[in-house]
Amino acid sequence: MPILALDSRELCDAEVDVVFLATPHETSIALAPRLVDAGKRVIDLSGAWRLGSAARTKATYGLSIDRPECFESAVYALVEINREKLRDASLASNPGCYPTASILAIHPLVKAGAIRLGTRPIIDATSGVSGAGRAPNARTTFGEVSLQPYGVLNHRHAPEIELHAGTGVVFTPHLGAYDRGILATIHVELGPGWTAARIDSLYREMYANERFVRLLPLGEWPSVAGVRHTNFCDLNWAVDESHGHLIVVSAIDNLVKGASGQAIQAMNVMHGLPEHLGLLDDGLGASALASKGGA
């Protein structure tokens, strides 16, 4: 297909079923409602619709939303958590990369009530320089890049993690000296009665049927190399029962599971296609797509 200059009117009139918006927040705010009104299903990779309300979006991103009613129908497109809601969604809001790695690690704990009351998970996460944007600057050039924290206590992904994980967190992002991938190390204070065996059962039950969440064997820890160029989230954990302390480690490729791959996974769910189509090669090729009449 040829690459064309953006024309919102032509896009609304085009005979397409789904539109991916890999656009700045402001562009997505303007385009998404028009496309939905025109009968398109929209998957937006910006942060415009992630926070569930105009007030939170204004406070976090400094953005004004002209059509706040769109939040009522927008579905947060973390498939492993919102699969059923996504099936009929007209507007899917693709999660951020740090939130994807963090929420998949702590959501089972929140859902089961495993976190000790009055405590917050501590998330220390490191991203490669592709997570720092495209604008050239000395901080992200090869000879200058260094492991360092940024956005301490004020990163815009913290409210997204808290909203969709359902718990307060202490989130500190870091810039790492590599090109792509996120590794998150998360510390959790466990409530009474949460043993290592119970935590193991919780994670294995939660993710037993999830194709893109891999629970690694004992002693094998997630790495950015292990998920590079894939849509997988790798998880592993350890429990210090004497102190009721859990460490969970999560790894994703920020450009795939943290962005475009997750968007394709959401599209597949929204259109009743095999969830891994276009993301894993199992011999289906174009046949499954053709059987659904195209997309």
**Looking up tokens 């789904």, which residue turns up?**
18
Distance of CA 290 to the CA centre of its chain: 28
Q: What DSSP designation does 181 have?
A: -
Q: Are 225 and 182 in contact (CB under 8 A)?
A: no
b/e map 95-105, b = 16+ CB within 10 Å: bbbbbbbbbbb
Q: Are 41 and 89 in contact (CB under 8 A)?
A: yes
- Alpha-carbon distance of 118 to 100, in angstroms, equals 24
Q: Give the pairing type, strands 122-127 and 170-175.
A: parallel
- Alpha-carbon distance of 232 to 273, in angstroms, equals 18
Q: Which of 12, 70, 97, 233 is catalytic?
A: 97
Q: Which two tokens stand for residue 134?
A: 């495209």
Q: Give the pairing type, strands 233-240 and 170-175.
A: unpaired
Q: Are 11 and 37 in contact (CB under 8 A)?
A: no
**Looking up tokens 């562009």, which residue turns up?**
27
Q: Are 295 and 271 in contact (CB under 8 A)?
A: yes
Residue type, 228: R
- Alpha-carbon distance of 295 to 292, in angstroms, equals 8
Q: Judge whether 97 counts as a catalytic residue.
A: yes
Q: Are 18 and 41 in contact (CB under 8 A)?
A: yes
- Residues recognised as catalytic: 97
